[in-house]
Amino acid sequence: MNVEGLGSLTAGTINPAATGGHSSARDKLIGVESAGDLAGFTLVETAYALAKYMGDEASVSVVLIATRKQAGDLAAKGRWKVRPSQLLILADIATHEALSPCRCKKCAGTGSKQNKVCLSCGGSGLGHESTVAMARAVGVDNSVFHRCYKEKLANMLGYLYDIESSIRLKLALRNNNWTTAQS
């Protein structure tokens, strides 16, 4: 496992090679060396960080289970008329979208097209799975997906993006406190 992705979330991340703190893979931190970065995170936040930024497949399952539970809670609260199997598929799609977004097809993930900001992705280089593919996975046609399922998917993605925001905030606050203490 490497943690450059996790480390890149915080400003002022150190170069592991400069401190001698790296594993046998040149300039790579190992998971144990990043344990301090994950201290104070909830189980879901830890799993999300490990899944998204370190590629830990076991952690994807933890995030997926939490997303499925949240989907059930949202469905019950909102009285969604959706089959349980479709709800599980929507949770799976949301988890995949949040943990490993696709590259923008218009700019091939570069964020720009013909030396201008890509309008399709807003310059992020990130895209989304096509709604046609999502509709097919849920078992409905595209117009039904847009009318009945897209907002439900957005609610589930909102839950996952809130987790990511919480991770970033905790890391930023920790980094800020550490920097202040050094002054």
The pLDDT of residue 28: 45
Looking at 3.40.640, 3.30.70, 1.10.274, 1.10.4190, the CATH number of the domain 40-175 comes to 1.10.274
Q: Which residue has tokens 């799609």?
A: 93
**Cβ 107 vs Cβ 113: under 8 Å:** yes
Where do the domains of the chain lie? 40-175
Task: Return d(Cα 175, Cα 12) in angstroms, integer.
Answer: 8
**What's the CA angle centered on 131, arms 70 and 60, to 5 degrees?**
40
What's the half-sphere exposure (Cβ side, CA atoms, 13 Å) at 63? 31
Question: Of 63, 1, 3, 2, which Cα lies nearest the Cα of 37?
Answer: 3
The pLDDT of residue 155: 92
The pLDDT of residue 68: 96
Mean pLDDT by 10 residues, the chain (183 residues): 49 43 45 65 91 86 95 93 92 90 77 83 75 89 91 92 90 68 51
The pLDDT of residue 73: 94
